[in-house]
C-alpha cells in the first residue's frame, strides 16, 4: 500500500485575519472566528498549507500589532512562488472582468493557487472568492485555458467528516 499525497490548502488572508482578530461582539463574525480557531487547531495539520507573497503583503497592512500577530501565525507556512504564469493569469482575470478592478489581490490569490495546482483555497471572502457567481465565471475562464480551479471553501466547509 502506497502513501497518499497530503492535500494542499492555500490560506487566504481573511482566514488568518479571523484567527488573530480580537473577539467580535457581532454574532456571525464571532462564529467565523470560532470556526477558524477550531480549523486551525484541529484540521490544519492534516493538510499541506501554503501562502503566497500576496498573503504576506495583505497581512502586513493595517494596525501594526495585528499585523505582527498575523505574521506570527503565518510564520511557518511555506511560500508559493508567483511567477510570470500566475501574474498573467491574474491580469487576464481582471481584464476579462472575472474580478472587479478593486479585487487585484483576490485575482492574485486565485492565480497563484491555480498555477500551483493547490487542492483548496481557504477563505472567508464571500465577495470575490467564496461566491457562486464568481466561481462559475472562474470555472469557465480557467477551463478555457486548460486549468483547474482549486476548491474554494471556508473553514466551516473544510472541517471534515
Q: Please tell me the distance from the alpha carbon of residue 80 to that of residue 116, in angstroms, as a whole number.
A: 7
Residue 60 lies in a domain: yes
Q: Please tell me the distance from the alpha carbon of residue 53 to that of residue 143, in angstroms, as a whole number.
A: 25
Q: Is 26 left (phi over 0), alpha (psi -120 to 50) or beta?
A: beta
Which element (helix H / strand E) includes 113? helix 104-115
Q: Write down the pLDDT at residue 5.
A: 81
At 42-70, the pLDDT tens digits run 999 999 999 999 999 999 999 999 999 99
Q: Write down the pLDDT at residue 81.
A: 87
Residue 70 lies in a domain: yes
Query: Which residue bears the cell 498573467?
Result: 88
The structural domain count of the chain equals: 1
Residue 1 lies in a domain: no
Domain range for residue 16?
Answer: 8-158
Amino acid at each position: 500500500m502506497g502513501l497518499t499525497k497530503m492535500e494542499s490548502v492555500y490560506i487566504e488572508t481573511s482566514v488568518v485575519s479571523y484567527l488573530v482578530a480580537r473577539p467580535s461582539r457581532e454574532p456571525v463574525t464571532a462564529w467565523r472566528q470560532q470556526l477558524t480557531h477550531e480549523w486551525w487547531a484541529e484540521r490544519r495539520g492534516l493538510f499541506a498549507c501554503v501562502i503566497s507573497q500576496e498573503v504576506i503583503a495583505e497581512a502586513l497592512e493595517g494596525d501594526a500589532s495585528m499585523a505582527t500577530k498575523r505574521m506570527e501565525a503565518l510564520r511557518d507556512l511555506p511560500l508559493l512562488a508567483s511567477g510570470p504564469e500566475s501574474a498573467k493569469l491574474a491580469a487576464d482575470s481582471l481584464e476579462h472582468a472575472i474580478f472587479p478592478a478593486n479585487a487585484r489581490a483576490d485575482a492574485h490569490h486565485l492565480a497563484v493557487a491555480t498555477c500551483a495546482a493547490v487542492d483548496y483555497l481557504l477563505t472567508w471572502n464571500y465577495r470575490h472568492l467564496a461566491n457562486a457567481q464568481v466561481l462559475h465565471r472562474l470555472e469557465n475562464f480557467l477551463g478555457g485555458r486548460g486549468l483547474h480551479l482549486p476548491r474554494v471553501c471556508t473553514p466551516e466547509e473544510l472541517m471534515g467528516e
